[in-house]
Amino acid sequence: MTQPGSGPAAGQWDAAVAAIRALGGTDEIQLICHVNPDGDALGSMLGFALALRRLGFTRVRATFPGAFLIPGPYTELPGIDLLVPEEDAFPAPALVLVFDVASESRLGGLAARAVAAPVGIVLDHHASNTGFGTIRLVDPQAAATSVLAEELTRRLGVPLDREIAECFYVALATDTGSFTFDMTTVAVHELAARLIATGIRPGDISRRIFDTRAFGAMKLVGEVLGRAVLEPSAAGGLGLVWTYATLADLERHGQPPYVLDTLIGPVRSVAEADVSMVVKQVGAGEWSVSLRSKGAVDVSRLAVSQGGGGHRLAAGFTGFGEPSDVVDIVRRLLGEFLN
Ligand code: AMP
Ligand code: MN
Ligand code: MN
């Protein structure tokens, strides 16, 4: 695990800049973000892909592992034309850059390629980052991976423009909960100010990314929230609230999986529970688990114990069996990871 308080080690920024400057304009550069990409994964990756194009690199591709399903809100991000399905990624690129990936398991079938590349630059901010990559720009204190991507952009001498700024802004707004979470520091607002100064429109971006959904998605969310369970005695009496959603729920409402990623917002707002959880079906007997805490539990350590990862107050892992099996495991582990 990356130690709290430790940003990139001395020399890592210079090494990243030197590695990029050493490339020729037609060398192949592959950018990769985590499976089921969110706003930070896609925004930091595509913003940096555009910065590489501004530097004159002509062979730049971005990708993520698994089904090539781009969450609706992100389909119009600048640089989206550089995004290709996993099978169209460069087979043997000169440089791989990895964005918002806590562990190699989140790289799916692309993990081997990331490791085999002559240079692998890792940009990440997960406390649970496992330490892979040859050059590591990892800072658990950073509010989003785009904080690191913007710093590398600056150190490469690429000025921010509207397109790059929109990508980094979406990433920053996503991971700070629209500038409300604990990581929302002075530096975060200063970065937001630099991005907004390029002329991007935060109101339009917020409406498109956070405040727009299909009618069917709203009905689905209503149904899933309606079956939420509150367990006041869990987590040493501080309370657990959880719900689950199945593939059949998605099908009944004609919705893609990513609409379930917004569910944790209303669930975590429940006053009677410190810990909140959404159990989302991804396959037969396989569930993607989102965990949040208001401070009583280190959910990152809990998630890591189940093969997942994340941050102290927001983490996830893959669970198996029925939703009740996943809830049983989490309920039992909560006591072990109380702060
Ligand atoms: P989510 O609940 O999907 O919004 O994820 C919360 C945090 O946990 C994010 O920082 C994710 O990158 C991380 N995370 C979620 N699932 C996993 C997993 N299976 N392995 C590692 N990290 C995860
Ligand atoms: Mn992410
Ligand atoms: Mn992130």
Q: Looking at the domain assignment, is residue 250 inside a domain?
A: yes
Q: Report the predicted TM-score, pTM, of the whole model to 2 decimal places.
A: 0.96
Q: Domain boundary at 210, 226, 260, which?
A: 210
Overall domain count for the chain: 2
Looking at the structure, do residues 196 and 250 belong to the same domain, yes or no?
no
Looking at the structure, do residues 120 and 243 belong to the same domain, yes or no?
no
Closest residue by CA, ligand 1 atom 9: 310
The confidence score (pLDDT) of residue 267 equals: 98
CATH assignment at residue 44: 3.90.1640.10
Looking at the structure, do residues 36 and 156 belong to the same domain, yes or no?
yes
What number is the average pLDDT over the span 135-164? 98
Q: Looking at the domain assignment, is residue 162 inside a domain?
A: yes
What number is the average pLDDT over the span 179-201? 97
Q: Domain boundary at 169, 192, 210, which?
A: 210
Q: Looking at the domain assignment, is residue 220 inside a domain?
A: yes
CATH assignment at residue 254: 3.10.310.30
Looking at the structure, do residues 250 and 194 belong to the same domain, yes or no?
no
Looking at the structure, do residues 253 and 124 belong to the same domain, yes or no?
no
Q: Looking at the domain assignment, is residue 31 inside a domain?
A: yes
Looking at the structure, do residues 16 and 62 belong to the same domain, yes or no?
yes
Looking at the structure, do residues 155 and 224 belong to the same domain, yes or no?
no
Distance 102 CA to ligand 2 centre (A): 9
Q: What percent of the chain has pLDDT over 90?
A: 96
Q: Domain boundary at 192, 210, 228, which?
A: 210
Mean pLDDT of the chain: 96
Q: Is the pLDDT of residue 235 over 70?
A: yes
The confidence score (pLDDT) of residue 339 equals: 85
278 CA closest ligand 1 atom index: 2
Looking at the structure, do residues 297 and 186 belong to the same domain, yes or no?
no
Looking at the structure, do residues 35 and 158 belong to the same domain, yes or no?
yes
Q: Which domain holds residue 288?
A: 215-337
Looking at the structure, do residues 142 and 123 belong to the same domain, yes or no?
yes
**Which three-class secondary structure string do you get for the chain?**
CCCCCCCCCCCHHHHHHHHHHCCCCCCCEEEEECCCCCHHHHHHHHHHHHHHHHCCCCCEEEECCCCCCCCHHHCCCCCHHHECCHHHCCCCCCEEEEECCCCHHHHHHHHHHHHHCCEEEEEECCCCCCCCCCEEEECCCCCCHHHHHHHHHHHCCCCCCHHHHHHHHHHHHHHCCCCCCCCCCHHHHHHHHHHHCCCCCHHHHHHHHHCCCCHHHHHHHHHHHHCCEEECCCCCCCCEEEEEECHHHHHHHCCCHHHHHHCHHHHHCCCCCCEEEEEEEEECCEEEEEEEECCCECHHHHHHHCCCEECCCEEEEEEECCHHHHHHHHHHHHHHHEC
Ligand 1 interacting residues, C-beta cut-off 6 A: 102-103, 106, 126, 264, 290, 308-311, 314-318
Q: What is the pLDDT of residues 260-273, one digit of tens each?
A: 999 999 999 999 99
Q: What is the pLDDT of residues 98-145, one digit of tens each?
A: 999 999 999 999 999 998 999 999 999 999 999 999 999 999 999 999
Looking at the structure, do residues 267 and 206 belong to the same domain, yes or no?
no
Which residues have beta carbons under 5 A from ligand 3 (an ion)?
40, 100, 145, 175
The confidence score (pLDDT) of residue 5 equals: 55
291 CA closest ligand 1 atom index: 2
What number is the average pLDDT over the span 242-262? 97
Q: Looking at the domain assignment, is residue 2 inside a domain?
A: no
Q: Looking at the domain assignment, is residue 157 inside a domain?
A: yes
